[in-house]
């Protein structure tokens, strides 16, 4: 008998060694068995409780709809999760209430850790400008570690909505306009948040949002309707969600918008056919705040009871703060309008994550004050934020070599309403800056050169009022200085949720202040701090040095100072197009040619062009300068025709031809010259961020394969079609350095 057991153990041992997938599957089966064992013991009301989520009393991001007796509901097992509760102590207290319920099922604590928890990182759109996937993953890793150390199990990030409309304030939260870059960043962020996997004490669940196409809200107005072809949905808006799922994302969140007339939260096509069906998603879908109940004002449900029925049938597993599920699902089951099987499936999905997080073993395992003390605001975490911030800065203009500044300068005037601001450096969706230092620009300059250069200061004006009373003092300060550094832009809450703007000029009279300071004749550097692309044509055309510094988080001032003085050579590239005028929006680089393409900005006769402004944007996707220069040469293709399952090796030489060591983001664009669905004039298909010392050359290699040539055809099949392709390699989408052509044959 013992021999048999030994033999069996050996065989299992070998099998586990040979096939980790086998081991993984065994673990999944084990958890499923545990889930079923819990489910069997639960009443219908307790099951429905797991699908109900309330907010804690702090940081509500929407109207509080929960009943005053939410704590009683927790003790009665009527809650599966709570958001906006944080801290080892606070989460432990709330978890202890859940442990008083009959089933003692632990709560999941969620929070919008969008760009950092205690150490604030640059806003996601700024991070996207780094094109540095390793750094992006690390930023999410730090946020995950700090959150997990504070009792948080789950972040409502990454937001992966493609954003082509800067009137929509939530572009600050995503990765910009491009599907390829957005997909790579979505993947990196999920990997960062989830680390080595759920169950690790420094890993938190990611939540991919907002499913789907929320960024295409009509007229850039938040929460507005989205109407698009299935082709556009599949080609441009869904791939970042699929990439996040491929990275192992534990949860998804649906979106407020209707998609082609159906609210996302009641959209079976999105949530069941695509996500849980075709893509095989095994995690759970949480609604956005109140979105289930909002199907009533959408005009899709006559009341919250019908909304609950539509949502659970469409695949919304958890109800965030609309209180539609708790009072109605039980009755719907009794009336045979909703099958218990649907409830059980949703509850299984939620319980499975609680097992994977280890919460059934120890509901308090993340609520550990000692770990919290050690992890938060650590030097390592602040250093990561500084590095990410440096990489996020985009140098837009540097005429007459105004930058980098010399450390021998005697007097610098720091002018503008954002020059000394700390709180605006946090940006929107910052969850834990309140009691932390955010380094302002002024402080960053003090830290860097305060003991060798005299810093003068004038606010000049407010961010958004119209008074010019401060101009005179600012002009006087400017006149005393060798160089003027100006900090203008948006307040931290001028981009973000429910922050749509029809006019995206720099607010108030800030650009008038720039004009007044420019008129002094002093060298001027303008730093624009904002959560979205802004329109600033006069500044762009008249000021010699301009940097887009977004909202850079805890280390903002230190990062900007390092870049101003060349201790970090800027390498950021815009992840979104900057329009000349709001009238051009939506404007993006991968547009379709049309039958009458405008050959240049003057060609308006019977061409697809405007009579009153140029077609081209102010700054295009992928644009960003460096203190050094790069030369692209010697493009070679291993072949100029490839069969379907073949590939083409591409190589070229990149040389740093300037005086500074620096990084270059080399971008590979393709154009499919003709296809069964019209293809964009160019599409980003690959990129590399390359560090080269001054004078250094390096061979850069890429591979073109069928995957890079594929698209969703008229039948929405992902496929490549034989034909001619143009290869473009450049330093920006409108600055192509090397071109060639190749063919794809049958
Ligand atoms: C908000 C946002 C969503 C966020 C949620 C919880 O309204 O749309 O992104 O995660 O509510 O705060």
Preceding peptide of 168 cis, ω within 30°: no
pLDDT value at position 437? 80
Q: Are 254 and 295 in contact (CB under 8 A)?
A: no
Residue to mutate (ligand 1; options 53, 55, 61; most atoms within 8 A of CB):
61
The secondary structure of 4-33 as a DSSP string is: HHHHHHHHHHHHHHH-HHHHHHHHHHHHHH
How far is ligand 1, taken at its centre, from the CA of residue 528, in Å?
27
Q: Is a pLDDT exceeding 60 seen at residue 584?
A: yes
Q: What angle do CA 710, 713, 718 make, to 5 degrees?
A: 45
pLDDT digits (tens, 9 = 90+) for 480-517: 999 999 999 999 999 999 999 999 999 999 999 999 99
DSSP, collapsed to helix, strand or coil, labels residue 711 as: strand
Helices (H), 60-174: 70-75, 88-98, 124-128, 133-148
Strand partners, 630: 656
Q: Are 549 and 388 in contact (CB under 8 A)?
A: no
Rounded alpha-carbon distances, angstroms, from residue 453 to 400, 409, 414, 535, 709: 22, 6, 12, 33, 54
CA gap 445, 455 in Å, rounded: 8
User: Which of 288, 319, 424, 672 is the catalytic position?
Assistant: 288
Rounded alpha-carbon distances, angstroms, from residue 138 to 165, 190, 696: 28, 11, 28
Handedness of CA 447, 450, 452, 458 (dihedral sign): positive
Closest to 628 measured CA to CA, from 603, 601, 604, 664: 664
Closest to 433 measured CA to CA, from 86, 170, 42: 86
Preceding peptide of 255 cis, ω within 30°: no
CA gap 188, 158 in Å, rounded: 10
Q: Give residue 479's pLDDT band: very low, low, confident or very high (50, 70, 90).
A: very high
pLDDT value at position 29? 85
pLDDT value at position 3? 61
pTM confidence score = 0.96
Residue to mutate (ligand 1; options 62, 63, 285, 431; most atoms within 8 A of CB):
62
User: Cβ of 604: how many Cβ atoms within 10 Å?
Assistant: 15
Fold (topology level) of 630-745: Immunoglobulin-like (2.60.40)
How far is ligand 1, taken at its centre, from the CA of residue 56, in Å?
14
How far is ligand 1, taken at its centre, from the CA of residue 467, in Å?
35
Handedness of CA 175, 188, 147, 394 (dihedral sign): negative
From the CA of 209, give the closest atom in ligand 1. Answer: 9
How far is ligand 1, taken at its centre, from the CA of residue 681, in Å?
35
The mean per-residue pLDDT over the stretch 545-568 comes to 98
From the CA of 84, give the closest atom in ligand 1. Answer: 12
Q: Are 168 and 224 in contact (CB under 8 A)?
A: no
Helices (H), 393-470: 441-449
pLDDT digits (tens, 9 = 90+) for 558-572: 999 999 999 999 999
User: What would you report as the CA-atom Rg of the chain, rounded to the nearest whole angstrom?
Assistant: 27
Closest to 190 measured CA to CA, from 244, 254, 123: 244
CA gap 92, 528 in Å, rounded: 42
CA gap 210, 170 in Å, rounded: 11
Nearest CA to ligand 1 atom 3: 288
pLDDT value at position 23? 75
The secondary structure of 585-606 as a DSSP string is: -S--SS----SS--SSTT--TT
Q: Give residue 62's pLDDT band: very low, low, confident or very high (50, 70, 90).
A: very low
How far is ligand 1, taken at its centre, from the CA of residue 210, in Å?
9
The mean per-residue pLDDT over the stretch 249-267 comes to 98
Distance between first and last Cα of the chain: 61
**DSSP β-ladder status, 545-548 and 524-529:** parallel
CA gap 412, 402 in Å, rounded: 13
How buried is 191 (Cβ within 10 angstroms: 0-12 exposed, 13-18 middle, 19+ buried)? buried
In the block, tokens 């409780």 appear at: 49
Residue to mutate (ligand 1; options 60, 156, 293; most atoms within 8 A of CB):
156
From the CA of 59, give the closest atom in ligand 1. Answer: 12
Nearest CA to ligand 1 atom 10: 156
CA gap 52, 293 in Å, rounded: 13
pLDDT value at position 61? 44
CA gap 182, 202 in Å, rounded: 25
Q: Are 54 and 66 in contact (CB under 8 A)?
A: yes
From the CA of 61, give the closest atom in ligand 1. Answer: 12
Weakest-pLDDT range from 607-616, 638-647, 693-702: 607-616
CATH 2.60.40.10 intervals, the chain: 630-745
From the CA of 173, give the closest atom in ligand 1. Answer: 9
Whether 567 sits among the annotated catalytic residues: the reply is: no
Ligand 1 surroundings by CB, under 6 angstroms = 61-62, 83, 112, 156, 209, 288-289, 497
Nearest CA to ligand 1 atom 12: 61
CA gap 51, 292 in Å, rounded: 12
Q: What angle do CA 245, 230, 270 make, to 5 degrees?
A: 45
How far is ligand 1, taken at its centre, from the CA of residue 697, in Å?
47
H helix or E strand, kind and range, residue 689: strand 683-692
Instruction: Spell 476-492 as b/e; 16+ CB within 10 A means b.
Output: ebbeebbbbbbbbbbbb
Q: Give residue 63's pLDDT band: very low, low, confident or very high (50, 70, 90).
A: very low
CATH class given for the domain over 41-106+274-367: alpha beta
Closest to 178 measured CA to CA, from 123, 240, 226, 127: 240
Angle between helices 133-148 and 179-194 (to 10 degrees): 30
Q: Is a pLDDT exceeding 70 seen at residue 7?
A: no
pLDDT value at position 674? 97
How far is ligand 1, taken at its centre, from the CA of residue 61, in Å?
6
Strand partners, 670: 683, 727
pLDDT digits (tens, 9 = 90+) for 134-157: 999 999 999 999 999 999 999 999
How far is ligand 1, taken at its centre, from the CA of residue 264, in Å?
14
CA gap 278, 284 in Å, rounded: 15
CATH 3.20.20.300 intervals, the chain: 41-106+274-367
Mean confidence (pLDDT) of the chain: 95
pLDDT value at position 65? 47
From the CA of 60, give the closest atom in ligand 1. Answer: 12
Handedness of CA 607, 610, 611, 613 (dihedral sign): negative
Nearest CA to ligand 1 atom 11: 289
From the CA of 110, give the closest atom in ligand 1. Answer: 6
pLDDT value at position 599? 80
Three-state DSSP string of 623-637: CCECCCCEEEEEEEE
| Ramachandran class of 294: left when φ > 0, alpha when ψ lies in -120 to 50, beta otherwise | alpha
pLDDT value at position 10? 58
Residue to mutate (ligand 1; options 112, 115, 290; most atoms within 8 A of CB):
112
How far is ligand 1, taken at its centre, from the CA of residue 65, in Å?
14
Helices (H), 362-519: 369-375, 379-392, 441-449, 471-479, 510-518
Strand partners, 650: 637, 702
* Structure token digits, residue 231: 């082709």
Dihedral pair phi/psi, residue 251, rounded to 5°:
-140, 165
Q: Give residue 603's pLDDT band: very low, low, confident or very high (50, 70, 90).
A: confident
Q: Is a pLDDT exceeding 70 seen at residue 58?
A: no
From the CA of 62, give the closest atom in ligand 1. Answer: 7
The secondary structure of 69-83 as a DSSP string is: THHHHHHTT--SEEE
How far is ligand 1, taken at its centre, from the CA of residue 582, in Å?
27
How far is ligand 1, taken at its centre, from the CA of residue 33, in Å?
33
CATH class given for the domain over 388-584: alpha beta
How far is ligand 1, taken at its centre, from the CA of residue 101, in Å?
28
- Longest distance between any two alpha carbons in the chain, whole Å: 96
The mean per-residue pLDDT over the stretch 547-576 comes to 98
Nearest CA to ligand 1 atom 8: 288
The mean per-residue pLDDT over the stretch 432-437 comes to 64
Residue to mutate (ligand 1; options 56, 207, 497; most atoms within 8 A of CB):
497
CA gap 487, 479 in Å, rounded: 17
From the CA of 210, give the closest atom in ligand 1. Answer: 9
Closest to 547 measured CA to CA, from 627, 442, 455, 461: 627
CA–chain centroid gap for 185, Å, is: 7
In the block, tokens 């907002």 appear at: 210
H helix or E strand, kind and range, residue 154: strand 154-155
Q: Are 391 and 570 in contact (CB under 8 A)?
A: no
CATH 3.40.50.1700 intervals, the chain: 388-584
CA gap 134, 172 in Å, rounded: 20
Nearest CA to ligand 1 atom 7: 289
Q: Which residues contact 556 (CB under 8 A, 6 or more apart)?
A: 389, 425, 438, 439, 440, 441, 444, 549
Preceding peptide of 404 cis, ω within 30°: yes
Q: Is a pLDDT exceeding 80 seen at residue 469?
A: yes
How far is ligand 1, taken at its centre, from the CA of residue 530, in Å?
21
CA gap 573, 189 in Å, rounded: 19
From the CA of 255, give the closest atom in ligand 1. Answer: 8
């Amino acid at each position: 008998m013992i021999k048999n057991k030994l033999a069996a153990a050996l065989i299992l041992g070998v099998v586990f060694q040979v096939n980790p997938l086998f081991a993984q599957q065994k673990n999944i089966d084990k958890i499923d068995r545990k889930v079923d064992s819990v489910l069997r013991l639960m009443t219908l009301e307790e099951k429905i409780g797991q699908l109900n989520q309330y907010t804690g009393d702090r940081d509500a991001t929407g109207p509080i709809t929960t009943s005053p007796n939410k704590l009683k509901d927790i003790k009665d097992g009527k809650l599966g999760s709570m958001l906006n509760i944080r801290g080892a102590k606070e989460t432990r207290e709330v978890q202890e209430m859940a442990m008083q319920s009959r089933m003692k099922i632990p709560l999941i604590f969620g929070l919008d850790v969008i760009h950092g928890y205690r150490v604030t990182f640059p806003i996601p759109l700024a991070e996207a400008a780094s094109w540095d996937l390793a750094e992006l993953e690390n930023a999410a890793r730090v946020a995950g570690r700090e959150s997990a150390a504070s009792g948080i199990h789950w972040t409502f990030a990454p937001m992966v909505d493609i954003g082509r409309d800067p009137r929509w304030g939530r572009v600050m939260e995503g990765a910009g306009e491009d599907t390829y870059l957005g997909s790579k960043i979505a993947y990196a962020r999920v990997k960062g948040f989830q680390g080595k996997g759920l169950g690790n004490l420094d890993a938190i669940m990611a939540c991919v949002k907002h499913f789907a196409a929320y960024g295409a809200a009509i007229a850039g107005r938040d929460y507005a309707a989205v109407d698009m072809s299935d082709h556009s949905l599949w080609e441009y808006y869904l791939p970042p969600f699929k990439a996040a799922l491929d990275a192992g994302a534990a949860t998804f969140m649906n979106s407020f918008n209707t998609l082609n007339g159906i609210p996302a939260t009641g959209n079976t096509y999105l949530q069941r056919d695509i996500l849980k069906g075709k893509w095989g998603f095994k995690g759970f879908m949480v609604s956005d705040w109140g979105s289930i109940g909002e199907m009533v004002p959408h005009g899709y449900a006559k009341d919250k009871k019908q909304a609950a029925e539509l949502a659970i049938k469409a695949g919304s597993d958890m109800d965030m703060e609309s209180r539609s599920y708790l009072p109605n699902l039980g009755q719907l089951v009794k009336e045979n309008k909703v099958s218990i099987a649907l409830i059980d499936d949703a509850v299984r999905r939620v319980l499975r994550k609680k097992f994977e997080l280890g919460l059934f073993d120890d509901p308090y395992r993340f609520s550990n004050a000692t770990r919290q003390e050690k992890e938060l605001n650590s030097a390592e975490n602040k250093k990561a934020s500084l590095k990410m911030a440096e990489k996020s800065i985009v140098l837009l203009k540097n005429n007459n070599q105004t930058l980098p500044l010399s450390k021998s300068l005697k007097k610098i005037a720091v002018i503008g309403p954002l020059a000394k601001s700390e709180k605006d450096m946090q940006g929107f969706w910052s969850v834990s800056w309140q009691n932390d230092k955010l380094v302002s620009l002024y402080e960053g300059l003090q830290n860097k050169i305060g003991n060798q250069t005299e810093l003068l200061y004038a606010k000049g004006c407010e961010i958004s009022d119209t008074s010019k009373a401060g101009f005179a003092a600012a002009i006087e300060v400017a006149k005393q200085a060798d160089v003027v550094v100006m900090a203008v832009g948006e307040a931290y809450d001028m981009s973000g949720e429910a922050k749509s703007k029809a006019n995206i000029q720099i607010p108030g009279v800030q650009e008038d202040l720039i004009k007044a300071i420019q008129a002094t004749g002093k060298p001027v550097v303008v730093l624009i701090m904002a959560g979205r692309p802004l329109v600033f044509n006069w500044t762009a055309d008249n000021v010699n040095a301009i940097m887009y510094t977004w909202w850079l988080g805890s280390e903002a001032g230190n990062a900007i100072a390092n870049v101003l003085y060349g201790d970090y050579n800027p390498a950021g590239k815009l992840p979104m197009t900057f329009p000349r005028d709001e009238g051009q929006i939506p404007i993006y680089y991968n547009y379709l040619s049309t039958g009458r393409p405008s050959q240049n900005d003057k060609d308006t006769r019977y061409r697809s062009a405007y009579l009153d402004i140029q077609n081209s944007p102010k700054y295009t996707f992928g644009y960003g300068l460096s203190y050094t220069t790069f030369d692209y040469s010697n493009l070679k293709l291993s072949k100029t025709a490839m069969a379907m399952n073949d590939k083409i090796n591409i190589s070229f030489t990149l040389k740093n031809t300037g005086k500074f060591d620096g990084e270059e983001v080399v971008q590979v664009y393709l154009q499919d010259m003709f296809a069964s669905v019209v293809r964009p004039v160019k599409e980003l298909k690959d990129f590399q961020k390359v560090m080269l010392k001054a004078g250094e050359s390096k061979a850069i290699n890429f591979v073109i394969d069928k995957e890079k040539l594929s698209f969703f055809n008229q039948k929405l099949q992902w496929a490549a079609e034989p034909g001619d392709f143009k290869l473009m390699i450049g330093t920006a989408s409108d600055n192509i350095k090397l071109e060639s052509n190749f063919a794809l044959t049958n």
